Amino acid sequence: MCGITGFWGGPAVDEGIAGRMAARIASRGPDDAGAWRDVKAGVALAHRRLSVIELSPAGHQPMRSPCGRYTLVYNGEIYNHLDLRVALETAGGAPDWRGYSDTETLLAALAHWGVPETLTRLNGMFAFALWDNREATLFLARDRMGEKPLYYGRNGGTFLFGSELKALTAYPGWQGQVDRDALALYLRYNHVPAPRSIYRGIGKLPPAHYVAVRDGGRNVGEPQCYWSLGEIAEQGVMQAGGSAHELADELDGLLRDAVGRRMAADVPLGSFLSGGFDSSMVAAQMQAQSERPVKTFSIGFHEAGYNEADHARAVATHLGTDHTELYITPEEAMAVIPELPAIFDEPFGDSSQIPTYLVSRMAREHVTVSLSGDGGDELFGGYNRHVVGPALWGRLARLPAPLRRGLGRAVGVAARIDRLPGAGRVPQLGEKLDKLASAMRASGGTAFYKDLLSHWKTPATVVRGASEPASLPDRIEAMPNLPGLRERMLYLDMMTYLPDDILTKVDRASMAVSLEARVPLLDHRLVAFAWRVPTDYKVRDGQGKWLFRRVLDRYVPRALMERPKMGFAVPIEHWLRGPLRDWAEVLLDERRLEREGFFHPAPIRRMWAEHLSGRRRHHAPLWNVLMFQAWSERQERIG
């Protein structure tokens, strides 16, 4: 795993500048550094290397092709690179190999097949920049599901790109301005969704896309899609069918191959293990293919409602893994909070960022690579919204729209009454009624889904000068032809929540401690297979991931797994009323909010007061604001 960055244009082409940009992301690659420039063209590339496969200098980057036409910087792992070498040798496109790094394989493939065809042949996670000297073109590309990040855009007269924004901000004369429309999207979704970033003029390359840059960095083309998840989904649901037993056998085989390919490494390797279905499946598939106990890692919390360590230990004992666990005190977890703006480099409001960082830091003491179980919920219907959402909306949709909206307003008013009848018997009754009220006012099933994911329902009224742009759930014309709300939910989760929240969290938390995280459940063959699984094999009898669970039964007794879904969280709700209260109060001070000019203070202060009083649980939307405030404070300090 690595970090890449570079620029094209500007007053000076200095590889020292590129090297200093790369130094900002040194944690992504502490083992080696390299920079290269083409003075005539005005382009410079830089790289930081985390050595995982081919530890010798034969894997050094930037890497030039033997013919001298191409120069590559690349972040990721190509899991089928040995297969590609065979194909290149058969096609007469293989060079005299200098080593066995996947970087050399990727460069040879790009030189022989070109960018579009090579991308369709890759099985891996990656982001890369390829300079074509003959055509004076810079190509940027990103993997299918968005496991590896890539930012790019123009700053003044210079085109910049990098694995993280902090590399771009190191360029001399950086002029980053907060995009207030992106800030509104952040408040709604907990993250800044692609293709935007928090800065004007800088974007994220969408997953499964590449872009060509020409004319000294002034001509930035439209991103081109090389693998369409919408087409995969449409074709899959049309072909869906087969017996549960046959599909389970096929899934088992695909899982074994996907996990096995991701076990290739020249450094110590292990797996995260929370005790949930996905991480347990990955650990089980690893152990089934290993001659020695696989190293597994979990963290625990002393608060019972947030602790899964006991479950993870039971699974590890059954599988026979070499298990390491660490119990974290609230003080240790909260000590991470000041580091979050630097780690995530962009406002990011998913509080599970804290345990993800902690388990990554602990695992890095033992291994350099760790497999992760992320992606199973999105592929096989594991979130509560997948299970209960479509049925709930189906009942609401039968009501006439005016009546539904009127009832929604009435329920919303009731939710704000301080002392509701029955509140003692139903925990957080007000919050539940508030969510129901909002859902009842939705105009359709996709709007209902968007509402479920929204932390702030009307963020443009909170952010000064913002006009919230349309996002994918608003663009009905961009949706593939799918048969029902559950399928649309799964598609939208794979397109938005998965790359922009889950995979961003895993990448930044692991790379902050120089740990490579691999995600086998997102092998693109598994993604395509998941769309061929009938929906009633995903959600059945009020239970998500039904087929997936049947395969896990082959490895782990069901008695160890049957328990409510807990998630990977920390008790932010209680911390904000207790040990984090003073810190939050400083960041949410009304005069400060007014002076800084990003937010209207009144709705934030009202929400803060309600949360402190215990009448309402507003920790999630408040955490969004706090993470932006902490990020903004850091930008002022370093900028």
Binding residues for L-glutamine: 102
* Residues 6 or more apart whose Cβ sits within 8 Å of residue 409: 437, 441
Give the full edge-to-edge strand order of the sheet including 322-328.
322-328, 295-301, 269-272, 369-371, 516-518
Angle at 184 between CA 180 and CA 190, to 5 degrees: 125
CA separation for the pair 174, 170 (Å, rounded): 7
CA separation for the pair 251, 174 (Å, rounded): 48
The count of other CB atoms within 10 Å of the CB of residue 175 is 11
CA separation for the pair 627, 350 (Å, rounded): 9
Q: Taking the mean position of all CA atoms in its chain, how far away is CA 638?
A: 26
Angle at 399 between CA 393 and CA 405, to 5 degrees: 85
Q: Which of 163, 115, 167, 106 is nearest to 139 (CA)?
A: 115
DSSP state of 58: G
What is the token pair recorded at 191?
A: 């993250």
Q: Which residue reads 């390829």 in tokens?
A: 130
CA separation for the pair 190, 107 (Å, rounded): 37
Catalytic residue selected from 1, 2, 73, 436: 2
State residue 83 phi and psi, 5-degree precision: -65, -40
Query: In the annotation, is 2 catalytic?
Result: yes
Residues making up the annotated binding site are 102, 299, 372-373
Q: CA-based diameter of the chain, in Å?
A: 78
CA separation for the pair 119, 131 (Å, rounded): 16
* Residues 6 or more apart whose Cβ sits within 8 Å of residue 480: 230, 231, 233, 234, 491
What is the token pair recorded at 615?
A: 């009448």
- Helix crossing, 429-440 with 401-415: angle to 10°? 160
* Residues 6 or more apart whose Cβ sits within 8 Å of residue 104: 54, 58, 59, 63, 95, 97, 98
Q: Which residues pair with 200 in a beta bridge?
A: none
Residues making up the annotated binding site for ATP are 299, 372-373
Tally the C-alpha atoms within 13 A of residue 91's C-alpha that lie toward its C-beta. 13
Q: Which of 51, 322, 2 is nearest to 149 (CA)?
A: 2
What does the DSSP assignment read for 550-618?
HHHTTTS-HHHH-S----S---HHHHHHTTTHHHHHHHT-HHHHHHH-SB-HHHHHHHHHHHHHTSS--
- Please report, for residues 178, 423, 570, 625, the alpha-carbon distance to residue 452 in angstroms, rounded to integers and kept in the order given: 27, 22, 21, 19
Q: Name the CA radius of gyration of the chain, rounded.
A: 24
List, by residue number, the catalytic residues: 2
